[in-house]
Structure 1
Amino acid sequence: MSTEAFLTDFHQVAAIGATPAGGVERQAATPEDKQLRDWFTAFAAERGWPVRVDSIGNLFALVEWRPGADYVLVGSHLDSQPLGGRFDGAYGVIAALHAADRLAARVAGGEPPKYNLAVVDWFNEEGSRFAPSIMGSSVFAGLMDEQEMLRVTDPDGITVAEALDAIGYRGTDERPKPAAYAEIHIEQGPVLEREGIALGAVDRSWYTQKLDVEVLGEQSHTGATAMADRRDALVAASKVVVLVHDVTADFEPESIVSSVGYLTLEPNSPIVVPRRVHLVADIRANAPEIVQQARELLLERIAAVAREHDLTIEVRDFDVRPVQHFPEQGLEIAEKVAADLGAGIRRINTMAGHDSVAMNRIVPALMLFIPSIDGVSHCEREYTSDDQMAIGVDALTEATWELLQGGLEAER
């Protein structure tokens, strides 16, 4: 298929769940997510590709050349953040579908490659409606318990299982057996744009972990309770938020990032001093010891806040993800493909989590980046040009072709 066909599909898909400021909102297992999944299924059906849906909602379009052979999986995710960008995730799935179509045409009438091909849309990569993130690929890889994930609830108390049933995408199909995995994604950072380079070959992920924090104070009247008698959970939680932000100053610049992006409070009434705040802190660094040091500093400082305000703050570790090194052979494939296309490429870390990081735990994975304008992501201003996307589709097509021939077998 042509570049024009890819761009037409990409921009048409961006209209599903479109927001007024140019982004999209398609959180996992919502009606908008269903619309996009239906579009994916129709794309496959038009080409005669069987579609499978597994029991955690992962969606696979199969291009089978050798019955019984394993599959090279290629894809990303179609769900978005609230008021998210139209490129994050969806670009990788649409690029994978078009790469598969090009490769199917290449194989037609000739010698089939060693492996079959499966294009995948992973369920709930974003983790905005249902935490944790990277859920579908992590269940596939055996890193998360499927039954536990199906019981996870959104803020309205709806479980993953109920949400998938509601949109008709909790399946029972057998999962394709993977031989290797490939993914392309916008960088979500400034490096490629700043250096004027078309492609990034991801060589490692950052160490990440989250802290689940509950601040437990005492509910009281905002007008009738003396200031000295208050045990205000929100005031204490606000100090925790600042501590999480400021802990990065204890380390070398650009070696660590941290934030609080999720917070709820009870009873959330304008005339009640809050009794409980729940928040999630996200800490990421280029080395595990930095995250661990930051965690220890935060625990000490959070304990001091609890004493100052005479309340309880409970902190629980969860969603700890170690550094993942991507295979050298995959990096070399990416560099060869870029050279053949006449495109610049550099090796690059991923600070964000991706489905490729989960898949790299069970099969050799290759991940490519294309530039993000201003390095922004998870917002409506997220942008990558048509030309930059087109180069990425070409690179993904050729890299996937190498994997189909067994290009990462030495890493298995």
Structure 2
Amino acid sequence: MSAFTDLWSEIAPIGRAESGGYLRYALSEPELTLRDWFRTQAARRDMLVTDDGNGNLFAWRGEPWTPGTVLTGSHFDSVPHGGGYDGPLGIVSAFLAADLVDPSRRNIAVAAFCEEEGGRFGVPCLGSRLLTGAIAPEKAAALQDRDGVSFGEALGRTPAGQDARVSGLKAFVELHIEQGRALETPVGVASAIWPHGRWRMDFGGVADHAGTTRMTDRHDPMLTFAFTVLAANKEARLSGAHATVGRVQVEPNATNAIPSLVRGWLDARAADTGTLDQLVESLVKKVNERAGRDGTTLEVTPESVTAEVAFDEALAQRLSRVLGDAPILPTGAGHDAGVLSAHVPTAMLFVRNPTGVSHSPAEYASDEDCEAGISALAAILGDLA
């Protein structure tokens, strides 16, 4: 077996569900097992591991936070029943790429960021947001999962918050599986991340009996919610953007009862901020008009909104040249690299995904392409370090 195949096989079973996808929620048992694996890999390489108090782990080949250090890595956590490559590929590749860089080049570190997906506590890139000061520690600590467990409780403390030393890093390079169908070569370079966000939409109504309440007497929030899903799809298609409602909660959630509350989450993304803002504003206006006709209410709460991220252009061009003019392409997916980009020169490498599917068990990259990604990352780390 290759070094990649051998290392990948160590983590592949961890958190795998019967669906074939993964349940690796942040700070859950499977993710904690992967964090122990991270520490073991660092120890094998005589790398010192530190925890920044926000749930982020760092393995240092030199002294921690030495100015000029090149950081690489990604995250372990997954979306519910997601694929195995989204996140962990970047960490496995980081260790193996570091192995290929001259040991005399000490200023290299590997990161495992906490709660990148937001699949447990609702805010994506939570660990990197805390590290960079993009979210207050007290606000992060109060975030709760679906069982009512707070992030602070799961972490065992109030997060430490911003660490100004991050600005002393020379660069952050994140390797990630490509999450679309745009990459035709084994490895590519990211140019930008689309602006994107998550909005919680609470539709209020009046609970009543499904069998005895006349249709004309109903105040059914499910009708308003259903209109919203269809309207979001239409608005996105008209504007060339993306809109998804992939999560919903209903109260009282009974087959023979008209709901009193429907809560849905809108994920919206666009190539530019103006288009994204217009999509959300137009949708909310139309839904409010529909709520008026349905006799229901609408409350919209932005849970996380991220502006467009343009990665360091000079660094992207440098990476492309090092890789023999690798293609440079944008992405609609959010990443920790996008959060760090406001504080340190940041770039991303993409490894080809032949299925084009992500956040699903069908997510896949061949061992050969993964090995090409490792070689590419090693070349970049060596060049930067």
Length-normalised TM-score, structure 1:
0.88
Residue in 1 that maps onto 2:52: 54
Runs of 5+ consecutive residues of structure 2 not aligned to the other structure: none
1:225 aligns with one of 197, 213, 226: 213
Residue in 2 that maps onto 1:239: 227
Cα deviation code 1:250-306 (max 9, x no counterpart): 22xxx3111111211111122321101111111111111111221221022101210
1:349 aligns with one of 330, 336, 351: 330
Contact 1:52 1:173 in 2 (8 A): no
Matched AA of 2:39: T
Cα drift, residue 334 of structure 1: 1.4
Partner of 1:107: helix, strand, or coil? coil
Partner of 1:295: helix, strand, or coil? helix
C-alpha distance in 1, partners of 2:40/2:164? 20
* Number of aligned residues: 383
**CA RMSD across the alignment:** 2.2
Length-normalised TM-score, structure 2:
0.94
Partner of 1:317: helix, strand, or coil? strand
Partner of 2:245: helix, strand, or coil? strand
Runs of 5+ consecutive residues of structure 1 not aligned to the other structure: 405-412
| 1:12-31 equivalence runs, <5 A | 12-31=10-29
Partner of 2:3: helix, strand, or coil? helix
Cα deviation code 1:178-218 (max 9, x no counterpart): 332010101100011xxx31222111111112222110001
Residue 208 to residue 67, structure 1, CA distance change in 2 (3 Å): closer
Contact 1:78 1:89 in 2 (8 A): yes
1:208 corresponds to 2:196: yes
C-alpha distance in 2, partners of 1:191/1:58? 31
Residue in 1 that maps onto 2:304: 319
Residue in 1 that maps onto 2:186: 198
Matched AA of 2:185: I
C-alpha distance in 1, partners of 2:252/2:243? 27
Partner of 1:188: helix, strand, or coil? coil
Residue 169 to residue 22, structure 1, CA distance change in 2 (3 Å): farther
Contact 2:131 2:161 in 1 (8 A): no
Cα drift, residue 66 of structure 1: 9.1
Residue in 2 that maps onto 1:369: 350
C-alpha distance in 2, partners of 1:22/1:381? 9
Matched AA of 1:140: L
Residue in 1 that maps onto 2:321: 336
Cα drift, residue 245 of structure 1: 1.4
| 1:11-410 equivalence runs, <5 A | 11-64=9-62, 68-103=66-101, 106-108=102-104, 112=105, 116-165=107-156, 177=166, 178-192=169-183, 196-251=184-239, 255-339=240-324, 345-404=326-385
Contact 1:53 1:171 in 2 (8 A): no
Percent sequence identity over matched residues? 31
C-alpha distance in 2, partners of 1:45/1:173? 27
C-alpha distance in 1, partners of 2:365/2:2? 16
C-alpha distance in 2, partners of 1:129/1:8? 30
Residue in 2 that maps onto 1:408: none
C-alpha distance in 2, partners of 1:159/1:68? 33
Contact 1:333 1:402 in 2 (8 A): no
